[in-house]
Amino acid sequence: MPTVSDVNFSLNALAIYPLKSCAGVALTESLLIETGLDLDRAWMVVDELGEFVSQRELPRMALIEPSLRSDDLRLRAPGMLALHLSLDRAEAPARVRVWDDWVKAYDMGDLAAQWFSDFLGQRLRLVRFDTDHRRLSDPKWTAGLDAQTAFADGFALLVVSVASLAELNRCLVQRGSSQVDMRRFRPNIVLDGIDAHDEDHIDQLEIDTAEGPVVLKMVKPCARCSIPDVDPALGTTGHSVGDTLATYRSDPRMNGALTFGMNAVPITGIERVLRVGQQGRASFKF
């Protein structure tokens, strides 16, 4: 852990996941809004009861690849014709569930529902988050901050460092397993310039943008489920990542759960643009 209060870093990568639990989109820049990066987890796949589904039970969701164009979201998957969704499109109001939260959304219609049902092999619907709905993160972790999120599991942003992935890959190779890439961990922001797992101990990140500083508060370690063991190229599940994390990432702050990366919420800088290569400072907790 650093022995100084501030450490310089740079933004190594930015990514959004327009459809919860599907593949991500790497970006060179992204607008920060109240719920995180613009269009992150704005759409979600739900079952007939309105409950979200994810790679935990449907690992083939990793094979659904979104791409953003000026006015639509294009989805591709093996063996499927591309599905195009207008960024302005919203159909019937819906009420759906993300973990313990019931939230307002809009159903995206029968064509989208059939596309997902055909590819994933069960009756499903696609919904879009209602931006008029305020879904708040757990105040137990946000220290009273009025922090919002869309369809993410619980917080606006996920932050991981380049060094943390390098350390995991070192451990994987040491155990005779193949290395993995950052897609397994689905971060929004990847930091370079800090040591492995230093993000665990950061209080705030201050990032210099052209419009002024963006300040993010690190609020909760990210407890990991089976998704990091889903191969993003094959949509199949293994066990090497979880087994390796179990050797050194049991986190007492999370009652022994395996953690990798930190959830964060914005404090200042809404409507400012984050760009790969921007510089910043991390202040640490002591």
For the chain, residues with pLDDT lower than 70 are: 1-5, 286
The full set of domain ranges for the chain reads: 6-284
The rounded Cα 21 to chain-centroid distance in angstroms is 8
pTM for the structure as a whole: 0.96
Q: CA dihedral in degrees (195, 155, 223, 106; nearest 10)?
A: -140
Name which of 196, 218, 197 is nearest 207 in CA terms.
218
Distance between CA atoms of residues 25 and 188, nearest Å: 10
Question: pLDDT at position 5, please?
Answer: 67
Question: pLDDT at position 89, please?
Answer: 82
Name which of 192, 255, 191, 241 is nearest 218 in CA terms.
191
Question: pLDDT at position 1, please?
Answer: 45
Question: pLDDT at position 78, please?
Answer: 98
Distance between CA atoms of residues 85 and 233, nearest Å: 24
- Contacts with 220 (C-beta within 8 Å, 6 or more apart), sequence order: 138, 141, 154, 155, 262, 263
Which residue do the tokens 């879009």 mark? 128
Question: pLDDT at position 175, please?
Answer: 98
Strand order in the sheet with 65-68: 65-68, 72-76, 83-86
CATH of range 6-284; options 3.40.190.290, 3.20.10.10, 3.90.76.10, 2.40.33.20: 2.40.33.20
Question: pLDDT at position 286, please?
Answer: 64
- Kindly report the backbone phi and psi dihedral angles of residue 201, in degrees, each rounded to the nearest multiple of 5, phi listed first: -110, 5
> Sign of the CA dihedral 245, 246, 247, 252?
positive
CA distances (Å), 161 to each of 166, 185, 190, in order? 9, 11, 5
